[in-house]
Amino acid sequence: MRLVYIANIRLPTEKAHGIQIMKMCEAFAEKGIDVELLVPARRNDLMDDPFEFYGIKRIFRIKKLPCLDILRFDFAKAGFLISTFTFLSATKIYLAFRNYDVLYARERLVGIFFTNYILEIHSLPMRINRFFRWFLRRSRFLAVITKYAKEKLVVEGIPAEKIMVLPDAVDLSEFNPAISKEEARKKLNLPLNKKIVLYTGSFLFYGWKGIGSLLEAGKLLNDNFLLVLVGGHPWEIKKIEELSPPSNVLLVPYQKHGIIPYYLKSADIFVLPNEKGEEISERYTSPLKLFEYMASKRPIVSSDLPSLREVLTDKEALFFEAGNSGDLATAIQKISGNPELSDQLSYNAYEKVKEYTWDKRAKKILMEISKSYANSK
């Protein structure tokens, strides 16, 4: 089977969707699928080879296709649409001269040029207009990452049997480096005598990530705790530093994917501080960091939101009221002072995450593809 994956992204990218797409292509290829990933040839400050950047096996092909790259000129939405349209036009021409069996996409506008594709959706607009509904109906089936996304699409008239719910996943082998917590800290120049509370991911670009609440919680924790935030862009770090964060906060710029397991190994507690009030945070997110946390055998303190409750229960995490920095600080202190609870939550989370691997996710999609094509004959 030949599968063409269309992703309208800059590659490589420091954003999480880059590793998600590369991991899925790798997982498909490991199942014996002939995979080609098509991405636009956009200007990119990251010049690394994508396979080396993400630590991905070189078992599928990546093709960069031309597009009118005007995103960097600040044309906002119009620039994005022009760039997308020209990339998809080039994709249509490129595939007109090639054979393929399955078209898989992370770009909803692919429906302008193609039909019978598999569309993976990671967010939904507040209102689904008729054009978006038309794109959905032109697909063979849809893959969404939360059950709430499926419920919304069903309300919009998309048949339930056409929608798969597939949360994100993790590669378990990557998140257990063969070093101790102390060795990891020495490698990263982190203090040995602190309780490290770790957050990984974007800082301020997405306000609903909850960095504000986490910084406020830091003010309520004593100096025995060190909040380590990993993944910020330089402008995000500069903006936070201008706000004079508490002295027990360490801001670390974006790190390549292969370094993150060492930060996770160095930590005592992981935190998911997502805010309430935005639909993507409450209903549609399935953060990669969640599964990486679970795979790293440390206790998780999490906002109590429906999106996160789809994976976590009280057996795998200690929940706090989203947006309540005092409740977050209390949860951190509670888990720090209760080794038995910490160990039990860590163990339960690790056992559960074994069901959320890229391999199993790819297998479910390929089974649905086989069933879909069999039913169409």
Helices (H), 60-179: 76-96, 130-137, 147-155
Domain boundaries, the chain: 2-169+357-376, 172-353
Phi first, then psi, for residue 271 (nearest 5°) are -130, 135
Which of 101-115, 127-141, 257-271, 338-352 is the least confident region? 127-141
- The C-alpha R_g of the chain, in whole angstroms, comes to 21
Q: What is the pLDDT of residues 51-106, one digit of tens each?
A: 999 999 999 999 999 998 876 655 567 778 889 999 999 999 999 999 999 999 99
Fold match, 2-169+357-376 / 172-353: yes
Residue-wise pLDDT for 279-290, tens only, equals 999 999 999 999
Residue appearing with tokens 């699409």: 153
CA-based nearest residue to 252, from 219, 226, 272, 271: 226
Which pLDDT belongs to residue 79? 77
The per-residue pLDDT for 71 is 64
**134 — pLDDT class (breaks 50, 70, 90):** very high
Percent of the chain with pLDDT over 90: 84
pTM: 0.95
3-class secondary-structure state, position 98 = coil
Predicted pLDDT at 72: 60
Q: Which fold has domain 172-353?
A: Rossmann fold (3.40.50)
Superfamily of domain 2-169+357-376, CATH level 4: Glycogen Phosphorylase B; (3.40.50.2000)
